[in-house]
Amino acid sequence: MNLIQVNIQNALGTVSEADVKALLPKADAALETLYRADGAGNDFLGWLDLPSRSNEILLDDIQATAVSLREKCDIVVTIGIGGSYLGAKAVIEALSDSFAAYRHDDNNPEILFAGQNIGEDYLYELQDYLKGKNFGIIVISKSGTTTEPAIAFRLLKDQLEKAIGKDEASKRIVAVTDEHRGALRQLATEEGYKTFVIEDSVGGRFSVLSPVGLLPIAVAGFDIKALMSGAKFMELTLKTPSADNMAEVYAATRNALYNAGKKIEILVNYNPKLHYFGEWWKQLYGESEGKEGKGIYPAAVDNSTDLHSMGQWIQEGERIIYETVLSVAEQQHSVVIPNDAANLDGLNYISGKRVDEVNKMAELGTRIAHVDGGVPNMQVIIPALKEEYLGQLIYFFELACGISGYILGINPFNQPGVEAYKRNMFALLAKPGYEKETEAIRARL
């Protein structure tokens, strides 16, 4: 299998090779700590060997469940938020035809998402769209109590049951949740839903290679065994501490850049299908590293689109940023720019070239311009947008995140900060049990 590659050459003007090398022993130690499981957050390391632990029985069960949903439903709504949403969304977008939503392809159900926001119009319009349609639901929540997916599920479950009856609805609802605990587990048991387990030791943002991501990806028609085989290949490739270990190199370089004052990392893509991969990556690194007043702020842009909006800032704004560019080597299709006799747009100098060649020159030209403007960059080269390489890429970023978090000196596997907004929201909504908080927050209004 070909491997994704990491190239840090364009970062080496801002930090020296020696700066990166100086951090490699820490990266080695971090990797060893992960495998010894004696570092901070060591009860959340189930993702580390998830690819090599995932067995055929589980993958076949996910596949069979996906086939059954595909047979029964024209639309499958996947309900979840954060780590219970972004991984599946990222992979499905990366692998799908850009116009899949408009093609009305009878072989594939439409995959819609809900529970990732509390937009009233979004939910109204979703319910309106689903009226009279043949739909099913995958509801994903590790805790089973997250407000956003719980609201969406309450609405859509009610709609489905009213449309086709409780019995039939229970055959079209699949729950992915904790093995024993939580409201969703209890409901699934009572209603007889098919369920899959999110292991205790796999945190939301590290869960895409579990049923959380795999079930929606399989329902969308993609090859989850190839995805897992790519992830497994990467797990085995990156297991051993070494100066050539690309997860270590990436983690060491980003920490060297951070120490040199580069506080923001922008994940850059030149392929619109990778937009949601950037969203997934932002959660992975943001929720893992933004703690104790520390952490690189993860941002993302879609180029060349955003060169016409954020390009000015990146080229000449405050010099606290660096980039990691996702370069996709091979496209799935070929489009050649035609010659035009009038040549009024002056494009004949590139006629006969593939669009991807122009895109690649935009990418290279931008990388050089940004280096000249004080924005170093790393490059992650992906052979193609195919399941096996996405599996590699996901595992690479997850492992590098664990290593990087330990180099930074924080616990990369908790997320204490996400509770603050929930406490206030519950207090404002007068949730039972929050009486004191309700009184205190109302006094501030």
Exactly one of 51, 136, 204, 211 binds ligand PA5 (CB under 6 A); that residue is 204
Nearer to ligand PA5, 204 or 298 (CB): 204
How far apart CA 151 and CA 361 sit, in angstroms, is 46
Task: With beta carbons less than 8 A apart as the criterion, state whether 28 and 269 touch.
Answer: no
Beta carbon of residue 429, minimum distance to ligand PA5 (angstroms, whole number) = 18
Residue 47 or 250 having the CB closest to ligand PA5: 47
Catalytic residue among 248, 287, 289, 398: 287
**Does 288 interact with ligand PA5 (rule: CB under 6 A)?**
no
Q: Which is the catalytic residue, given 17, 294, 422, 435? A: 422
Applying CB under 6 A, the span of 71-79, 80-88, 163-171, 389-397 interacting with ligand PA5 comes to 80-88
Taking the C-alpha atoms of residue 119 and residue 124, their distance in angstroms, rounded to an integer, is 9
Q: Which of 41, 109, 203, 230 binds ligand PA5 (CB under 6 A)?
A: 203
Residue 308 a catalytic site member: yes
Stretch that binds ligand PA5, among 75-83, 90-98, 293-301, 389-397 (CB under 6 A): 75-83
Question: If binding is defined by CB under 6 A, does position 141 make contact with ligand PA5?
Answer: yes
Of the candidate spans 142-150, 234-242, 389-397, 429-437, the one that interacts with ligand PA5 by CB under 6 A turns out to be 142-150
133 is an active site residue:
no
Which one of residues 7, 143, 304, 331 is an interface residue with ligand PA5 (CB under 6 A)?
Answer: 143
Residue located via tokens 């049990």: 433
The secondary structure of 191-223, three-state, reads HCCEEEEECCCCCHHHCCCCHHHHHHHHHCCCC
Choose the binding region for ligand PA5 from 90-98, 200-208, 220-228, 334-342 (rule: CB under 6 A): 200-208
The verdict on 83 binding ligand PA5 (CB under 6 A) reads yes
Nearer to ligand PA5, 150 or 252 (CB): 150
Q: Which of 185, 194, 205, 367 binds ligand PA5 (CB under 6 A)?
A: 205
Q: Residue 174: helix, strand or coil by DSSP?
A: strand
HSE-CB at 97 with a 13 A cutoff on CA atoms is: 10
**284: closest CA among 265, 257, 258?**
265
Is residue 213 at the binding interface for ligand PA5, with CB under 6 A as the rule? no
- Contact yes or no for 332/386 (Cβ under 8 A): no
Is 422 considered catalytic here? yes
Asked if residue 39 binds ligand PA5 (CB under 6 A), the reply is no
Report how far residue 88's alpha carbon sits from residue 77's, in angstroms, rounded to the nearest whole number: 12
In this structure, what token pair is assigned to residue 177? Answer: 């949740």
Of 413, 392, 253, 286, nearest to 329 by C-alpha is: 392
> Which C-beta is closer to ligand PA5: that of 62 or that of 139?
139
Answer for which of 245, 271, 415, 438 binds ligand PA5 (CB under 6 A) is 415
Strand order in the sheet with 135-141: 110-114, 75-79, 135-141, 173-178, 194-198
Of the candidates 84, 255, 366, 404, which one interacts with ligand PA5 according to CB under 6 A? 84
Per-residue tokens: 70: 């595909």
For 67-120, give the secondary structure using H, E and C. Answer: HHHHHHCCEEEEECCHHHCHHHHHHHHHHCCCCHHHHCCCCCCEEEEECCCCCH
Indicate the Cα dihedral angle 6, 12, 14, 15, nearest 10°.
Answer: 90
> To the nearest whole angstrom, how small is the minimum distance from the Cβ of residue 387 to ligand PA5?
23
Q: How far apart are CA 61 and CA 248, in angstroms?
A: 35
Stretch that binds ligand PA5, among 79-87, 129-137, 293-301, 337-345 (CB under 6 A): 79-87
**Which residues are catalytically annotated?**
287, 308, 422
Judged by the rule CB under 6 A, the positions of this chain that interact with ligand PA5 are: 81-84, 141-143, 146, 149, 203-205, 287, 415
